Amino acid sequence: MTKDSAIKALLFDVFGTVVDWRGGVARHVGPFLGRRNMAVDATEFADAWRREYSPAMEEIRSGRRSFVRLDVLHKENLVKVLRSFGIDIDSVTADELDELNLAWHRLDPWPDSVEGLLRLKRQFIIAPLSNGNIRLMVDMAKRAALPWDAILGAEVVRAYKPSPQVYADTTDILGFSPAEVCMVAAHNGDLAAARQCGLKTAFVLRPVEHGPGQQSDLRAEQSWDYEAADLNDLATQLGCPT
């Protein structure tokens, strides 16, 4: 497939699409759980923490709460999850909480991510369109060698996906029309919201984002502009050389 000459920029969902949040969070919280002799599986803890993600953002999307960056929401959610697992929050120091919260800054890329992004970067502007805040995205990019051209997303426009404002304002910041921008995500809902704002769409399959028993986003649920097995496959479809 040849390059779509209309596309000038690719915007990427990050958590789950570019990096393995579940494995990274579990790796980071495992030692903390071990020190407390807790019979809690680290991936179970990661899943519980992630389940608080969307409800916390919905408070902001709905207007019930003013915008705060994702690091703040993650830390508040961490306290909730610690309590739900029976941990006395008063026994956890502020430094421990801050260190645990940095798990989201230290996630590993999927095996194809860096190579695929480098190929795509040669022909397109590439940037995250993530709910993660700027510092989080920068720390992650430095650690994982993610070669972004810019850091964009929720904190820049002060709104959370899938609010239309996120896609529209980010496209405007880049100076392109929506048809010149392609949203890349492993989540059908993210792509549906982007398409409604006029962006082109690329579905990337990540069948173990939620572990081996994943039941969601195992296939493209609409006729997206592109459907790829991974980021290298997307680069090939878009005509990027190896």
- Over the stretch 92-141, which tens digit does the pLDDT of each residue have? 999 999 999 999 999 999 999 999 999 999 999 999 999 999 999 999 99
Q: Where are the chain's structural domains? A: 9-18+110-237, 22-105
What is the average per-residue pLDDT within 145-168?
A: 97
Tens digit of each residue's pLDDT (9 = 90 or more) over 56-73: 999 999 999 999 999 999
Q: pLDDT at position 236, please?
A: 98
User: What long-range pairs does 133-140 form, CB within 8 A, spacing at least 24?
Assistant: 133/69, 133/70, 133/71, 134/69, 135/69, 135/71, 135/105, 136/69, 136/70, 136/71, 136/104, 136/105, 137/14, 139/102, 139/105, 139/106, 140/14, 140/19, 140/104, 140/105, 140/106, 140/107
The domains spanning 9-18+110-237 and 22-105 adopt the same CATH topology = no
- In whole numbers, what is the pLDDT of the chain averaged over residues? 96
Banded pLDDT at 2 (limits 50, 70, 90): very low
Banded pLDDT at 1 (limits 50, 70, 90): very low
Token reading at 34: 């071990």
CATH of 22-105 given 3.40.190.10, 3.40.50.150, 3.40.50.300, 1.10.150.240: 1.10.150.240
Q: pLDDT at position 212, please?
A: 94
Kindly report the CATH class assigned to 9-18+110-237.
alpha beta
Q: pLDDT at position 36, please?
A: 83
What is the average per-residue pLDDT within 13-29?
A: 97
CB-CB contact of 196 with 185 (8 Å): no
CB-CB contact of 213 with 207 (8 Å): no
pLDDT for 3 beyond 90: no
Q: pLDDT at position 25, please?
A: 98
What is the average per-residue pLDDT within 28-57?
A: 93
Q: pLDDT at position 57, please?
A: 97
4 versus 188: the higher-pLDDT residue is 188
| Percent of the chain whose predicted confidence (pLDDT) is above 70 | 98
Tens digit of each residue's pLDDT (9 = 90 or more) over 218-233: 999 999 999 999 999 9
Residue 229 vs residues 69, 133, 218, 233, 237: alpha-carbon distances, Å: 31, 27, 11, 6, 11
Name the one residue in this structure whose structure tokens are 């801050």.
98
